[in-house]
């Protein structure tokens, strides 16, 4: 079993912001699996199904970004999964828009959602998929940028990124983390040129709302 958690902030005002990349990738996976992510459990919205032949729980923490670890800890304890069986999807301001970076373990890299998860799990060895949203323009406040609405070409580019990130999550489960990293840790244009092999299998990888709670570093 795997827990696949997409990070974001709950509520309509944050729905289409750069910081909610993780929620959108979860929605993309849910559409592919034909399930709904609407069960309220583990301080999150959850959905259960099968992905790449494995049982998975899709998770959208409702704790606000900076407290994401509270939800992941509750889910991990309930399903009795190890950190290696938790895949976390988040935004990244240090990557080009739409670029992916898969890691099987590591530090938070300045992202407050990942920092919270590391603190609550007491471990760094959980796989993560970071989706680039591009760096903030000069003179912009970081919180204003990551909590800004995606519009026009930016919104279209991110829609493509959500599907690519969903592909990457499937590959991590069905073919293993190393293969997924080799395939998807590239510039966006190279990711598009790389075709996904067919029928290839490999071992799987082992509260009150305010701006300070919602922001977190991108």
Q: State the DSSP string of 107-143.
A: --TT-HHHHHHHHHHT-S-S-EEEEE--PPPTT--HH
pLDDT of residue 159: 94
Q: What is the DSSP letter of 15?
A: T
19 annotated active-site: yes
pLDDT of residue 196: 52
Residue 112 has pLDDT above 60, yes or no: yes
pLDDT of residue 213: 53
pLDDT of residue 64: 96
State both tokens at 123: 């471990």
2-214 CATH choice from 3.40.50.1470, 3.50.50.60, 3.40.640.10, 3.40.50.300: 3.40.50.1470
pLDDT digits (tens, 9 = 90+) for 80-99: 999 999 999 999 999 999 99
Domain chopping of the chain, boundaries = 2-214
Q: What pTM was computed for the model? A: 0.86
Active-site hit among 19, 24, 42, 111: 19
pLDDT digits (tens, 9 = 90+) for 151-164: 999 899 899 999 99
Give 104's pLDDT tier (boundaries 50, 70, 90).
Answer: very high
Rounded average pLDDT over 185-212: 54
């Amino acid at each position: 079993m795997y827990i696949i958690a997409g990070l974001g902030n709950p509520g309509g005002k944050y729905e289409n912001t750069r910081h909610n990349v993780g929620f959108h990738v979860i929605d993309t996976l849910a559409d592919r699996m034909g399930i709904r992510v609407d069960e309220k459990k583990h301080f999150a919205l959850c959905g259960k199904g099968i992905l790449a032949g494995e049982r998975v729980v899709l998770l959208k923490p409702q704790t606000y970004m900076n407290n994401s670890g509270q939800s992941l800890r509750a889910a991990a304890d309930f399903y009795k999964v190890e950190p290696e069986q938790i895949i976390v999807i988040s935004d990244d301001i240090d990557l080009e828009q739409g670029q992916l970076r898969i890691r099987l373990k590591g530090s938070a890299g300045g992202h407050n959602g990942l920092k919270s998860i590391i603190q609550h799990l007491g471990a760094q060895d959980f796989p993560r998929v970071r989706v680039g949203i591009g760096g903030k323009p000069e003179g912009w406040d970081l919180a204003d940028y990551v909590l800004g609405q995606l519009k026009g070409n930016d919104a279209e580019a991110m829609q493509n990124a959500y599907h690519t990130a969903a592909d990457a999550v499937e590959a991590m489960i069905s073919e293993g983390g190393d293969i997924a990293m080799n395939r998807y840790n590239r510039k966006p244009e190279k990711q598009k040129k790389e075709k996904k092999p067919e029928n290839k299998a490999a071992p799987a990888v082992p509260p009150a709302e305010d701006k300070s709670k919602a922001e977190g570093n991108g």
